[in-house]
Each structure stands twice: as C-alpha cells, then as structure tokens.
Amino acid sequence: MATSRSKKPAKKAQPKKASQKAQPKKASQKAVPKKAAQKAPPKKASRKAPPKKAAPKKPARRATAKVSATRGMTLAEWAKRRLDDDQAEMLDILSELVAREVLEATSAIKWSQPVWELNGPLAFFMPATEHVTFGFWRGAELDDPSGLLEGDGERMRHVKLRAVHEAHRPELADFVRQAAELNRRKGDPTRRAG
C-alpha cells in the first residue's frame, strides 16, 4: 500500500505581540536599502592627464577705433568744460607763458589734459580739487635752485599751483625754456633711447 503522506496543516499567521509591532519610523530615520547601507570601498584617485594649455586668445577687434572725446578740442573748449574760473585763468596764464618762451611750441589735448609740445611733449597741465599741476616730462633734468619742483620719479617733475598769482612765478618760465632746449637736443622724451 502506498503510504500517503500526510500534509501538515499550514501554519496560521499569528498576530504579533505589542512589542513586536512595527514602530513608526522617526523623521531622522530613513529607510536605506541594504546594499546602499554598506560602505562602498573608497575610490582610488583617478589619474587625469594634465590640462592642455589653451592657445593664446586673439584680442577682440573693435568695430570702430577708440577715439578720445577730447580729440581735436582746443584748450579753451577743454577749459570751459572741465575747469573752474581760477583754474581756467591759470591755464590761460601758462599757455601765454609757453607761447612767449617757446615760439614754435604747439598745444593739444593729449592723455585727457593740455600738453605743450616741441619735438615731443615738454609740459602738461592737470587740474585737481585743491590745485593744478604744471609738469615737465624731463623735469628730473631741469635745473631747480629754488627747489620748487616736486616728484621723485625717474623722469618727470611738477609744480603744484594753488592760487592764480602762483602761475606768474618767474621760475616757471625758466623751466619751460630748459624743457624746450632739452627736447631740441635729445628728442621726444616719450621715446626711450634703444
């Protein structure tokens, strides 16, 4: 006879006890998959090829050339736009002085300021809040027995004029004559001898 195997009755699911019931998860506890919870081995530093040097960038071309708004402006027009009355009067006095001492000198607005030239720039005028600066490209080479010139650069020196009457100082005429003579002999002071 064939023995029948008796089937065991399936176990009925038993209700969980209160202590075994699933506890609600706290906000700080997140369900993390088992695989993700395991720490991954540290990544080895990958060897990257050194970055390639970028080719030098070509400068962008301007659609139009950069031109100063003061280009072609006369000293009088420039003074009217930029100077107060005392400064404008000092510019007039110094312009007359340069014209008297160096007949062949010309004037123009360059580097956004009045400049007097003879074989290159020889003097300039620059306004400030409390004074105007009357300067010389070859100021370091000028003879200055009264010690009026200021500055410690390699080449340039200047005089600060704080009042209109200071523009009449006789030393200024001497400085202008010396600067013109140096430009006649040595050429343009903005070009370095090479």
Long-range CB contacts for residues 139-144, cutoff 8 Å, separation at least 24: 139/175, 139/179, 141/178, 141/182, 142/175, 142/178, 142/179, 142/182, 143/174, 143/178, 144/171, 144/175
For the chain, give every domain's residue range: 75-186
Q: What is the pLDDT of residue 121?
A: 94
Q: What is the pLDDT of residue 194?
A: 41
Its CATH class, for the domain covering 75-186, is alpha beta
Q: Write out 17-65 in H/E/C secondary structure.
A: CHHHCCCCCCCCCCCCCHHHHCCCCCCCCCCCCCCCCCCCCCCCCCCCC
Q: What is the pLDDT of residue 49?
A: 67
Question: Looking at residue 150, what DSSP letter applies?
Answer: B
Q: pTM for the full model?
A: 0.63
**Ordered mean pLDDT values, 10 residues apiece, the chain (194 residues):** 55 57 55 57 64 69 61 82 92 96 93 92 95 96 95 94 96 97 93 64
Q: What is the pLDDT of residue 103?
A: 95
Q: What is the pLDDT of residue 12?
A: 60
Q: What is the pLDDT of residue 7?
A: 58
